[in-house]
Amino acid sequence: MGLEVCVARLADSLAPPPRQTVSEWADQNRRLSSEASAERGGWRTGRAPYQQAVMDAFSPYSPYERIVVISSSQIGKTETLLNFAGYIIDRDPGPVLVVQPRVEDGKSWSKDRLAPMLRDTPCLRGKVSDVRARDANNTTLHKRFPGGHITIAGANSAAGLAARPIRYALLDEVDRYPASAGAEGDPMSLPIKRTATFRNRKIVMVSSPTVKGASRVEAAWLKSNRQSYWVPCPDCGHFQILRWPNLEWPDADLAAAAYRCEHCAALIPGYRKAWMLARGEWRPINPKAKAVGLRIKPVVLELDGVWRDGLRVPNGKREPETLRPSVNTALAKPWATRPTRMAVM
């Protein structure tokens, strides 16, 4: 082998890997697991285009170190967080702390969501040793991989929150955290303090919102750049945020939700939603904020299901307490004290 070839090969092997965002990584590598997902096969960001900005805010090339996502439970926030965990293991390793509301939630997340991804996504297979090997490097709540580890904690247990420095704090379902982790104080600020020594840290807060005024994710989102997803009307092109009152069900057909354009008043049939979402864009209210905040309202995504849950019963009575879970999970908006106002927000 000539010296030139040797040098060229050495240069190739030393070259940094090409830049890849979290959504690109997921499209290329992530496999969905049958027990954790209604869909099978490869992940496709294009199925839910608004998720691209969420995942790409996680990427090391994003200027943001704090990412706040308000999202309903139906629309894949668990999967986007898993994609980030996979990306970290495969592309940008470092110490990770995943905080779930309770230790039991953390165990479920690890067994039911993380483990299937590690098993079914080829580039992750083998990076974390098999949990059945009774290996201290891979227990349910602690998994080592080359260059880092994922530790999973419950917000109800201070012991898991205050320990070694971490580069990635993934705080899931923060509105279900207790007010205090034992005597140690706020279970959200403890993990964030642990990231202080990493200049390239990422702090991710994700939740369905709960009670307005007491919602952690809402409070964090208000300090962020407050982005919403705007979509164009197929008839007139006017960009708008989809709003609950503009939904209609022609002929009371629950399966046929349609949307009234706020500009041209055209009635947009449900099948156009993919067209609209593909052309949507995130727009900030507060563009100078240091944190990125993305609120995903699933108005056109799950509405026939929401209807069936009793949120908007035609001429029917509303039962505030029983409605509360569906309002929170369906609308990604905290429950206000006056449900009548919630229904027409």
Q: Which stretch binds Zn ion (CB under 5 A): 11-19, 51-59, 256-264, 335-343?
A: 256-264
Pick 55 or 261: Cβ nearer Zn ion: 261
241-246's contacts with Cβ under 8 Å and 24+ in sequence apart are 241/297, 242/297, 242/299, 242/300, 243/299, 243/345, 244/299, 244/331, 244/343, 244/344, 244/345, 245/344, 245/345
Footprint (CB under 5 A) of Zn ion, residues 263-322: 263-264, 266
Q: 148-154 and 142-145 as β-strands: parallel, antiparallel, unpaired? A: antiparallel
What character string, x for contact with Zn ion (CB under 5 A) and - otherwise, covers 210-249?
-----------------------x-xx-x-----------
Least distance between Zn ion and beta carbon 271 (Å): 16
Smallest gap from Cβ 307 to Zn ion, in A, equals 23
Question: What radius of gyration, in Å, describes the C-alpha atoms of the chain?
Answer: 22
**Nearer of residues 93 and 270 to Zn ion, judged by Cβ:** 270
| CB contact burial 268-281 (16+ within 10 A = b; e otherwise) | bebebbeebbeebe
d(CA 136, CA 133): 9
- Site size toward Zn ion (CB under 5 A) is 8
The token pair at 216 is: 């952690």
**CB-nearer residue toward Zn ion: 7 or 236:** 236
Give every CB contact of residue 240 below 8 A, 6+ residues apart in sequence: 230, 231, 233, 261, 262, 263
Beta carbon nearer to Zn ion, 236 or 254 = 236
Between residues 65 and 235, which has the closer beta carbon with respect to Zn ion? 235
Smallest separation (angstroms) from Zn ion to the CB of 237: 7
Name the minimum Å distance from CB 246 to Zn ion: 11
Nearer to Zn ion, 246 or 326 (CB): 246
Q: Which of 48, 261, 301, 311 binds Zn ion (CB under 5 A)?
A: 261
Q: What token pair was written down for 34?
A: 């049958």
Subset of residues 152 to 211 that bind Zn ion, contact rule: CB under 5 A: none
Q: Which stretch binds Zn ion (CB under 5 A): 44-52, 138-146, 160-168, 258-266?
A: 258-266
Q: Judged by CB under 5 A, does residue 32 bind Zn ion?
A: no
Identify which of residues 25 and 244 has a Cβ nearer to Zn ion in the complex. Answer: 244
Least Cβ distance, residue 232 to Zn ion (angstroms): 8
CB of residue 267 to Zn ion, shortest distance in Å? 10
| Residues lying near Zn ion in the complex (CB under 5 A) | 233, 235-236, 238, 261, 263-264, 266
